[in-house]
Structure 1
Amino acid sequence: MAPPSQSTHSGNAEHKNPLKKPLLKKIQARSRHITREESKIKETWVYISTCIAVMGPTSLGFQMGYTSPVQQQIIQSLNLSVSEFSFFGSLVTVGAMLGAVLSGKLGDALGRKGALLVACLPSIVGSALITFAEGKLPLYSGRFLTGLGGGIVSFVVPVYIAEIAPRHLRGTLGAMQQLAVTIGIMLAYLGGLFLNWRYLSAAGTFPIIICLIGLTFIPESPRWLAKNEKSEELEASLKKLRGMEYDVSNEMREMQQTVEAAKSEPQAQFTDLFKRRLARPLFAGIGLQFLQQFSGVNGVMLYSSAIFSSAGISSANVASLALGSLQVVMTVASAGLMDKAGRRLLLMVSASGMALSCFLVGFSFYLRNVQEQYLSSGMNIFIDILALASLLVYIASFSLGLGPIPWILMAEIFPAQVKGVAGSLATLINWSSAWVITLTFNIIFQWSSAGAFWIFAVECVFAVIFVALFVPETRGRTLEQIEASFK
């Protein structure tokens, strides 16, 4: 209901489209979004469950960062060409595409915990194959298997977090998935300074082992339990997540009512995604996954050492570590802002910063490649600083919004009855796009280092426009309220 000072017309407009809010609305304190009842929630197990779940994305991030510090070691040890190593690097995304296809069905059939358990197994086997590889086949097979586990994790973890988190923490905790990925990348960069490629691969299994052990203690998603009519387990799960003294009856009732309403509809099929009422959430969710990857971020992170070397920076692995560390710091900052600034504002600021920094990175390569014969030593230093600073701004901007938010929105905006199918499709689009970027980045970069980043700059400008026109604001609403708003 609109306050008395507002017109009836304004109130009606807000009722018709509750997701649409002024983009530059003043940031409100988080406490204003918390009801008196919600303030009684004991959040200990929500945090513990989130930390256990994100061990999967930590392992995935480790695998994504693994190729950067070990490129020359593997090429020399196994006598690979640059194209063969690029193929090796891209196989993690090929495996993730298959994992994405399976993730929704696994999450719906086995539960979120069961799907996470399944995801851990190929990740461990894949890391072992890489560790002991003496030829291309085990090397390629191991990379594919780690991607398979990562593809399942990419869908299941953000959905699990969104389904266990109280609404006032959903944005902050949802950002933990991307934070975990960035920590994994940073750990791979850091380990690459001290470990050879075999020991580094073995080290990547530790987060998965922690996840396997932790899964025996954390509760199942209450919304999955409600969907499968497991009333006793649902109440036990909510009690554990909200605190034994918290009255979960209202939250249980809301979940069960949503499930009952969904029963009147037939079981979700792939063709259901193209019904008119799902067009807006599907277009927004898939569009963001596509734009996230075609910003070029996976190409930058997987081959950062090679990029820094081409830019004339001597300590390329150290610079890559700085890049990974900054990504962690900015993702932490993003998590703190997620439930205050909102999704749309952070996405637009993020994509704008990436567009500007991509242009400047491209400009630095242009100066070095085209005008190198005219450059003084002072100008060379300036170009080095410009390239490094611009890449750091690029990663900082990505971590602020375009990194974590597409996964958060995917878990928020898809209706419960099609979440598995829609989420699998969105995750598949993400990893398919990542595969295209990782496979072609080196080729495009060798063709024109400046042109590669200018292409990404144009794509980031398009991302700003896309967010402004098509992406809804979901801050401060329960999943059931978001779902109802699309009906």
Structure 2
Amino acid sequence: MSDSDETRDLRKPFLHTGSWYRMSSRQSSLMGSSQAIRDSAISVVACVLIVALGPIQFGFTAGYTSPTQSAIIKDLKLSVSEFSLFGSLSNVGAMVGAITSGQIAEYIGRKGALMIASVPNVIGWLIISFAKDSSFLYLGRLLEGFGVGVISYTVPVYIAEISPQNLRGGLVSVNQLSVTIGIMLAYLLGLFVEWRILAVLGILPCTILIPGLFFIPESPRWLAKMGMTEEFETSLQVLRGFDTDISVEVSEIKRAVASAGRRTTVRFAELKQRRYWLPLMIGNGLLILQQLSGINGVLFYASTIFESAGISSSNVATCGLGAIQVLATCITLWLADKSGRRLLLIVSSAGMTISLIVVAVSFYIKDFISDESSLYDILGIIAVAGVVAMVAAFSVGMGAIPWIIMSEILPLNIKGLAGSVATLANWFFAWLVTLTANWLLDWSSGGTFTIYAVICALALIFVTIWVPETKGRTLEEIQWAFR
């Protein structure tokens, strides 16, 4: 048996693409071109909606700790530090998942990686729902985090690889939109159900995702890279419509695969080549700056920030913040393929910088006036408005676009390793910001937001100088441009 046959047999459980593949040639020949375009869009959107259950799980995990803190501490008699450890362990698990995500997705495919990520998520939620002490909480949270780490890399890569170039930006933005929906669902449901039931509800996204994966095609670019020519062309035909001529796209993908070779790694000396170091620097830089902007600190401690600004109903305000995040991300969905990635990043980072400066100045002035002054209340409202504007500005660009750029610019032969490194860096700095945000806010609210504003200004400079526009270009064209 040849190496190609062995590889195909090994990965066969993950290549099933459901009944779509059984359309007869007679049926396909009767379809008109407009019908083919419509079917192509329907096929790709259906795939995106199924894999979007993964990021919903991601967001639900992130939002779970906010509405459940007091109840879990009371029921299991935990200290605040023990609960804080519980919350942070998802980031630790995600870092482990991120390290392995690229290699898992390269070895058994994008669908296989998502299936592997779903299982520990389901087990983790079950462990938390039946937890009797902190050790069970910690184990469940680590398992969830591992799954989330794999999902956070695999979903945007899969969507980018199956999407037509004119829809790719909006479709990859569904990843971030789903994360925000998951956060909002956790906030809202947490107001009405107790924490064990909320954990059981957390099982649903991945429970639906696992069978759903059997009805969607594998990434055609991954299949081409692994030498599965027949499966590659069939998958692409399903995604583009059975009456669509895919010969040009097939040729482009084959040429890119032949150029990259089937190696999943390159020698260290080769990383000095522009085709490698530049996309690596851009992808890692965007994902690191995304987290250093302080977004996780703001979202995790929104209730504390709102209370210090003088808002009494902080939980309701936090739910409102989640809703604004969802709406703003919908704007990205619409604009990503119209205005372009680079412009959205520039507008987003500039908006965040201005918003954070407003919040910082408000807190600085509040420190020097009496809390009985009418100006004190006005400054509190301005600070809250600034926080809301910062989250909205983040969601318009810096939330979704770095993941789109990362999935587009990394060369095929280093995508697994480089994507793992970028995702690991993102999760490490997410953990670092979450860990330090509370300490920084205790030190100085104005100082904290000043630091975040400076980083957002650096992000604006970074985007302006280094980030290319990728709108309307195939993945192969983007990666050839770095040569």
Same fold (TM over 0.5): yes
The TM-score, its normalising length taken from structure 2, stands at: 0.89
Residue of structure 2 aligned with 1:312, choices 298, 310, 335:
310
Aligned to 2:479: 483
**Matched residues in 2 for 1:215 and 1:305: separation?**
37
1:69 maps to 2:82: no
In angstroms, what is the RMSD of aligned CA positions? 1.9
Q: Is the 8 A contact 1:89 1:438 kept in 2?
A: no
1:385 maps to 2:381: yes
* Deviation for aligned residue 1:272: 6.2
Aligned to 1:466: 462
**Matched residues in 2 for 1:272 and 1:204: separation?**
45
1:186 maps to 2:179: no
* Deviation for aligned residue 1:73: 2.0
**Equivalent position amino acid for 1:423 in 2:** G
Aligned ranges 1:150-161 → 2 under 5 Å: 150-161=148-159
**Equivalent position amino acid for 1:426 in 2:** A
Aligned to 1:275: 272
Q: Is the 8 A contact 1:289 1:427 kept in 2?
A: yes
Aligned to 2:46: 48
* Deviation for aligned residue 1:476: 0.8
Structure 1: stretches of 5+ with no match in the other structure: 1-34
Aligned ranges 1:348-367 → 2 under 5 Å: 348-367=346-365
- Which secondary structure does the structure 1 equivalent of 2:338 belong to? helix
Q: Is the 8 A contact 1:64 1:301 kept in 2?
A: no
**Matched residues in 1 for 2:431 and 2:411: separation?**
28
- Which secondary structure does the structure 2 equivalent of 1:463 belong to? helix
* Deviation for aligned residue 1:113: 0.2
- Which secondary structure does the structure 2 equivalent of 1:477 belong to? coil
Aligned to 1:16: none
**Once the two structures are superposed, what CA deviation does each residue of 1:48-73 show, in whole Å capped at 9, x if it has no partner?**
10011111111111111112222222
**Equivalent position amino acid for 1:315 in 2:** S
Aligned to 1:140: 138
Q: Is the 8 A contact 1:86 1:438 kept in 2?
A: no
**Once the two structures are superposed, what CA deviation does each residue of 1:284-329 show, in whole Å capped at 9, x if it has no partner?**
1000011000111111222222222232211111101110001111
Aligned ranges 1:23-422 → 2 under 5 Å: 42-263=40-261, 267-269=264-266, 271=268, 274-277=271-274, 278-368=276-366, 370-373=367-370, 375-376=372-373, 378-422=374-418
Provide closer, same or farther for how the CA distance between residues 233 and 271 of structure 1 changes in structure 2, counting only shifts above 3 A.
Answer: same
Q: Is the 8 A contact 1:99 1:150 kept in 2?
A: yes
**Matched residues in 1 for 2:216 and 2:38: separation?**
21
**Matched residues in 2 for 1:262 and 1:471: separation?**
23
- Which secondary structure does the structure 2 equivalent of 1:339 belong to? coil
**Once the two structures are superposed, what CA deviation does each residue of 1:260-289 show, in whole Å capped at 9, x if it has no partner?**
1222x8551473673222111111100001
* Deviation for aligned residue 1:37: 13
- Which secondary structure does the structure 2 equivalent of 1:167 belong to? coil
* Deviation for aligned residue 1:120: 0.2
**Matched residues in 1 for 2:127 and 2:369: separation?**
44
Deviates more, 1:296-305 or 1:408-417: 296-305
- Which secondary structure does the structure 2 equivalent of 1:67 belong to? helix
Deviates more, 1:127-136 or 1:313-322: 127-136
Q: Is the 8 A contact 1:67 1:303 kept in 2?
A: no
Q: Is the 8 A contact 2:37 2:240 kept in 1?
A: no
Provide closer, same or farther for how the CA distance between residues 280 and 88 of structure 1 changes in structure 2, counting only shifts above 3 A.
Answer: same
- Which secondary structure does the structure 1 equivalent of 2:214 belong to? coil
**Matched residues in 2 for 1:190 and 1:301: separation?**
15
- Which secondary structure does the structure 1 equivalent of 2:217 belong to? coil
- Which secondary structure does the structure 2 equivalent of 1:244 belong to? coil
Q: Is the 8 A contact 1:93 1:431 kept in 2?
A: yes
**Equivalent position amino acid for 1:417 in 2:** N
Q: Is the 8 A contact 2:36 2:241 kept in 1?
A: no
Q: Is the 8 A contact 2:90 2:144 kept in 1?
A: yes
**Matched residues in 2 for 1:418 and 1:397: separation?**
32
Aligned to 1:15: none
- Which secondary structure does the structure 1 equivalent of 2:337 belong to? helix
- Which secondary structure does the structure 1 equivalent of 2:336 belong to? helix
Residue of structure 2 aligned with 1:456, choices 433, 452, 458:
452
Provide closer, same or farther for how the CA distance between residues 201 and 361 of structure 1 changes in structure 2, counting only shifts above 3 A.
Answer: farther
- Which secondary structure does the structure 2 equivalent of 1:175 belong to? helix
* Deviation for aligned residue 1:240: 1.4
Aligned to 1:12: none
* Deviation for aligned residue 1:40: 7.2
